[in-house]
Structure 1
Amino acid sequence: MIKNDLFLRALKGNSVERPPVWMMRQAGRYLPEYIELRKKYDFFTRVQTPELAAEITVQPIDIIGTDAAILFSDILVVPQAMGLEVQMVESKGPILPKTIATSADLAQLVVDEAADQLSYVYEAIKVTKQKLDGRVPLIGFAGAPFTILCYMVEGKGSKAFDKAKQFCFAQPKLAHELLAKITEVTIQYLRRQIKAGVDCVQVFDSWSGLLSPNDFKEFSQPYLVAIANALKEESPVILFPKGSWYALEDLSTLDIGAIGIDWTISPQLARQLTQNKITLQGNFDPNHLLKPISEIKKEVKQMIEAFGKDRYIVNLGHGILPNVPVTHAKAFVDAVKLYQ
């Protein structure tokens, strides 16, 4: 039994006394307690050691008091499980030495057994659930197929992912084959997370906003829909296609728990496009957490009033920044909890 079920009630569209609040990337880099662990263990040791991943996942629940926990992991464990090497370079980000460029590269990818390679994630979920002891729900997650393709083709992080986009446009058949393989693995992976005990799953399409509306409908939307439809009977699903506000109307027709939005769309337009028939999550600009605490509190109140307290989950429009003071993150959470 989950003691604080505000988050789950909001996903169901139930009326709530106040909206729930959590923050993307809340488990990690802005917390001194996490930084201490980072000094001792490299990134993938932290991810692949269930006790460490669980400890990191629970830290923000203890320290800033969010209404949901999100598992400490990384979206690039899926390319790893599919057979690609992923290096995480501190202060530089991910590097994939071998990328996907040809049908021969595609043929070498592991699909059927890929989800089996991620047993450490499922174990981390079980340990985390024990540590949480029913205090709040636990969110599992994966990267969306288009976003995973971006890394598998580009080989590193990028502001524009030109190489990945060119791959899609120059070799669309190959791109769709890759997207289909990623989608299959992602469904298996999220299904295993649900069986291990997560209460909800979120799909991060962090780079879909680089696509035009028509390209989104070709290279992102069908695969998000496939994941949502495959899992809808098993768990609430949150889709977060960052920057793709133009897709809100289409995605709001799906049988999902919520849609995440970033700060580039107003609450009013987001409600209009979704006809207020689905829970929305977002959309505070993480940079605004660097403002004075009094301003943070004022803006949080204004944001809740603009969205309305029901069918709404307070969150950032993307992950919390490493330089945000913990007191400011806590002020953001507390401002939601004090909302009347």
Structure 2
Amino acid sequence: MAESLPLLLRAARGETVERPPVWMMRQAGRYMKVYRDLRDRHPGFRERSENPDLSYAISMQPFEAFQPDGVILFSDILTPLPGMGIDFDIVESKGPLIEPAIRTAEQVDNLRPLEPAEALPFVGEVLTRLRQSVGNRAAVLGFAGAPWTLAAYAVEGRSSKNYAVIKAMAFQEPELLHRLLSHLADAIATYIGYQIDSGAQVVQLFDSWAGQLSPIDYDTFAAPYQKRVFDAVRASHPDTPLILYISGSAGVLERMAATGVDFVSLDWTVDMADGCARLPESVGVQGNVDPGLLFGTPEAIRERICDTVRKARGRRHILNLGHGILPGTPEENARVFFEAGKSVNDLLGATA
């Protein structure tokens, strides 16, 4: 029966639900003491994300603590890159490092097609275990990085403030960049299909750095490849809802909706009412509480959640932060966020 399916899955499919489901980007991670203790014992990020026992345990930590409506795979957007021949490391306080960076036609031509079951079996194992563990108490979420963002990391070789290297490639060697983006789009579509086959019920695509593009360049280098991923996944897995998130997306919201995605995840720089007005009614909204608010008082958190949910009423809405929860956020305030989200109907009734 549909009623037995997880709330988040029902909401993402467009069904009428009793309240907006609630989960939190980066809900497994550094703000939790249990995670920091595990990190002290296993300091390598790739060990934590690619050892299935560790990834499973970390994925379950926020569910065991807060019972959100979604449990998301603990992994990284760069995880599939080695399966294509792009190795990386993640250094604490420095972020991802890719050496050598991908900058030549020969390097692009030498990239391999992604075979997730062979290259990333730990991802499938963790997702299968998560589904078995949470049953219908929560939806299991998968995720992947979008082609532009993965290309930005691969070409820059690290995080960047101005993305000068990949933008130079875009404007000097656009054909080379399009070949790289095409390869990444096909690989990511395959990767998402593998996640769904392994147990993911909803999948979010992170194009974290597409907000660094002008609208005209978004139309050229990001949106077509987002759509290529979505079209391929929908052809093979038509019933799986897809979410698109871009940090700093205020200038391209309408363009995001045009990719064919089911949900647009809003960051906190857009008012929820404005975001809903700018997006077609057929597209759901996710978000968009400022993560910094979780350093505030419980009263402020509850008030903002009520404001967000009130402004999204009448739309498919998944309550979330407008970005990942910040390190140092008090765990009790994360608890307030989840509890307020689950009791939002009562809170709104009290303030009506």
TM-score, scaled relative to structure 1: 0.95
Q: CA RMSD in A?
A: 1.7
Alpha-carbon distance in structure 2 between the residues aligned to 1:115 and 1:214: 37
Alpha-carbon distance in structure 2 between the residues aligned to 1:286 and 1:222: 30
For residue 330 of structure 2, the aligned residue among 325, 330, 339 is 325
Q: Does structure 1 conserve the Cα–Cα contact (< 8 Å) formed by 2:19 and 2:344? A: yes
Q: Does structure 2 conserve the Cα–Cα contact (< 8 Å) formed by 1:242 and 1:260? A: no
Match of 1:33 in 2: 34
State which drifts further: 111-120 or 23-32.
Answer: 111-120
Alpha-carbon distance in structure 2 between the residues aligned to 1:10 and 1:338: 16
Q: What per-residue deviation string (whole Å, max 9, x for no partner) do you get for residues 28-83 of structure 1?
A: 11111111111111211111111211111111111122111110000011222211
Alpha-carbon distance in structure 2 between the residues aligned to 1:307 and 1:215: 30
Q: Does structure 2 conserve the Cα–Cα contact (< 8 Å) formed by 1:26 and 1:319? A: yes
State which drifts further: 87-96 or 172-181.
Answer: 87-96
Gaps of 5+ in 1: none
Alpha-carbon distance in structure 1 between the residues aligned to 2:109 and 2:259: 32
Distance change >3 Å, CA 214–CA 335, structure 1 → 2: same
For residue 184 of structure 1, the aligned residue among 183, 186, 191 is 186
For residue 242 of structure 1, the aligned residue among 229, 238, 247 is 247
State which drifts further: 268-277 or 202-211.
Answer: 268-277
Q: Does structure 1 conserve the Cα–Cα contact (< 8 Å) formed by 2:116 and 2:194? A: no
Match of 2:90 in 1: 88
Give the share of equivalent positions with the same residue, in percent.
38
Q: By how many angstroms is 1:133 displaced? A: 3.3
State which drifts further: 97-106 or 236-245.
Answer: 236-245
Q: By how many angstroms is 1:309 displaced? A: 6.2
Aligned letter for 2:30? R
For residue 166 of structure 2, the aligned residue among 164, 168, 181 is 164
Match of 2:348 in 1: none
Gaps of 5+ in 2: 346-352
Match of 1:24 in 2: 25
Q: Give the 5 Å matches for 1:204-219.
A: 204-219=206-221
For residue 61 of structure 1, the aligned residue among 46, 60, 63 is 63
Distance change >3 Å, CA 4–CA 191, structure 1 → 2: closer
TM-score, scaled relative to structure 2: 0.92
Q: Does structure 2 conserve the Cα–Cα contact (< 8 Å) formed by 1:10 and 1:310? A: no
Alpha-carbon distance in structure 2 between the residues aligned to 1:17 and 1:311: 12
Distance change >3 Å, CA 282–CA 327, structure 1 → 2: same
Number of positions where the alignment pairs a residue of Structure 1 with one of Structure 2: 340
Alpha-carbon distance in structure 2 between the residues aligned to 1:257 and 1:272: 16
Alpha-carbon distance in structure 1 between the residues aligned to 2:159 and 2:7: 35
Q: By how many angstroms is 1:234 displaced? A: 4.7
